[in-house]
Amino acid sequence: MRIAVGQFASAENWTDNLKTCQELIDGAVAGAADLLVLPEGALSLFVDEPARIREAAQPLDGPFVSGLVERTRGSETTVIAGVHVPAEDGRVANVLVAARGGELVATYTKLHLYDAFGRRESDNVIPGTNAPVVIDCAGWKVGLMTCYDVRFPELARLLADQGAQVLAVPAAWVRGPAKEWHWEVMVTARALENTCYVAASGECGRRNIGASMVVDPLGIARARLGDAPGLLWAGASADELASARRTLPVLENRRFAVDPRLEPHV
């Protein structure tokens, strides 16, 4: 599998962000990527007024997602990006969309909301109630996670239990003391403890750290970006994955299963 990860600084205007995403899609398609992972919250930037997320949200058949989906027409590249979608109670849902060949092939609603470090995502966003989502991509199984989800190892393990060989993690990881270190540790741990690849896209700019990376099944970062926009590339090998799982058979050696019951969001 050929993996591309796109990183950019989201603007407040959705049309600017759509253009940027489309350019990254074009670059990934031109480079024969099987998978392109774009950031969380690709639709619009929210810094000083988080409640604006409600005004800027668009339905899945709105112009932003439609523009992403249409840009994949005629290619086999699977594109994953994060958007905000209106919800019934006036808040929004934080949704990953997966598009390929001009079609919307899957969605995943963020399960773990960022009510931490003095912030409350749940003031404006509803928590997902869906089961973990794994999609097919170029003969591989790709599990979907969003940003704060990466701090919860049980979700990654449930995805691995469903056959995930790659975890796609769009994110908008907010700056703060030691936050860059938290990001690197969590992304690396999810790869190492599940012996899978992790393709993590971080939004950059004045609010978020960027630091996109692809980590292999033995926890080695194969490619990474700093805090500037860019498109990084990495390969995933079935032989390498099999070898890692023979060398470090943690999925076979474990003694506890993860209970798939969904706890209520508090």
Beta strands at 166-171 and 125-126: parallel, antiparallel or unpaired? unpaired
Residue 139's pLDDT is: 98
- 258 occurs within a structural domain: no
- 10 occurs within a structural domain: yes
**In three state form, how does the secondary structure of 21-73 look?**
HHHHHHHHHHCCCCEEECCCCCCCCCCCCCCHHHHHCCCCCCHHHHHHHHHCC
- 212 occurs within a structural domain: yes
Residue 13's pLDDT is: 93
Residue ranges making up the domain that contains 73: 2-250
Give the catalytic positions in this structure: 40, 110, 147
Total tally of structural domains belonging to the chain: 1
- 138 occurs within a structural domain: yes
Q: Per residue of the chain (266 residues), give pLDDT as tens.
A: 999 999 999 998 999 999 999 999 999 999 999 999 999 999 987 766 778 889 999 999 999 999 999 999 999 999 999 999 999 899 999 999 999 999 999 999 999 999 999 999 999 999 999 999 999 999 999 999 999 999 999 999 999 999 999 999 999 999 999 999 999 999 999 999 999 999 999 999 989 999 999 999 999 999 999 999 999 999 999 999 999 999 999 999 999 999 999 988 86
How many other CB atoms are there within 10 angstroms of residue 122's CB atom? 14
- 169 occurs within a structural domain: yes
For residues 177 and 197, is the Cβ–Cβ distance under 8 A? no
- 12 occurs within a structural domain: yes
Residue 232's pLDDT is: 97
* Measured CA distances, 29 to 15, 48, 63, 232 (Å): 21, 35, 21, 13
Nearest to 112 by CA among 59, 158, 178, 76: 158
Residue 76's pLDDT is: 97
Write the CB contacts of 71 (distance below 8 Å, at least 6 apart in sequence): 21, 22, 25, 26, 79
Residue 47's pLDDT is: 63
For residues 134 and 109, is the Cβ–Cβ distance under 8 A? no
CATH number of residue 141's parent domain: 3.60.110.10
- 24 occurs within a structural domain: yes
Pair of tokens at residue 104:
């919307």
The residue with tokens 């980590």 is 215
Residue 239's pLDDT is: 98
The residue with tokens 């090998």 is 237
Measured in residues, the chain has a length of 266
d(C-alpha 67, C-alpha 73), whole Å: 10
- 266 occurs within a structural domain: no
